[in-house]
Amino acid sequence: MNSKWKGKSLISLNDLAEEEFGQIFELSATLKSKLKKGIPHRMLEGKTLGMIFSKPSTRTRISFEVGIYQLGGIGMFFNQNDLQLKKSENIADTAKVLSRFLDGIMIRTFDHQDVIDLAKSASIPIINGLTDLMHPCQVLADLFTILEKKKTLKGLKLAFVGDGNNMAHSLLHGCAKVGMDISVASPVGFHPNEQIVHETMETAKSTGSKIEILVDPIKAVKDADVVYTDVWASMGQESESSKRKKIFKPYQVNENLIKHAKSDYLFMHCLPAHRGDEVVNEVADSSNSVIFDEAENRLHVQKAIMALVM
């Protein structure tokens, strides 16, 4: 393993250099191949990953827990009631204590600042498993999936249709870093965070990516190589679900919208999907859909991340 990775935290894709994406993808492909061939790859023998969950999860917990096991280590699960984090103990003290016991921490939580603060005080790598602001591990798996299917990333166009949420933010960062064009279409008032859009635009100056923040979903999807969507109401926004369904209805990924993409487009969704809302079954279950490939690739990509940083 490249020594420069050891001890490094993964908080935002904006922190990675373009060549570091390639290093993650190369190791992901190697580890995936070894797993499929039944070749042991216990690169983290005796290592322990702490997994902190303030938000429930299917893919994140299982992929990290299985991943650290396949790498020869063990994973320890903590929900929000298992730790005194931000209750009777501040984040800095928790980070310093856990650093004495663990070799790495993956955290899936609401407030992005909690991940930043944890990394500031910890002496072990912190992996952002999801916050309300970003979802970097998911997007690394998404880009790896696109690379597998299309054999390249640079110059492709990804259209994200829906809420300008954590998925949109990490897709903006990731696409710009690897030289992909990205068009994000959201209703007025639901566009991505302005600071993240600014960071993306700055990156695009050197990588040549074209960045569009739009209202019109048809314009975003036009000639897209990849069409991506996500739920209209994320965790913590359940009370807004009915209101959001009305606002986002024109942004449903259906057969009428998808006909504007390239014929060999890939359909992507980070899952879980609310079928009949942001996407219809005819698209989610079509031959263009790679939603389960990207879900599987969470395992391989996150194993690569853990192997590099731990």
Hey, which residues are catalytic here? 108, 135, 138, 230, 270, 298
Q: Which one, of 295, 309, 308, 310, lies nearest residue 28 by Cα?
A: 308
CA distance 108 to 49: 13
Please, which residues bridge with residue 50 across strands?
76, 105
Radius of gyration of the chain (CA): 19
Contact 134, 12 (CB under 8 A): yes
CA distances from 11 to 19, 135, 173 (A): 17, 9, 12
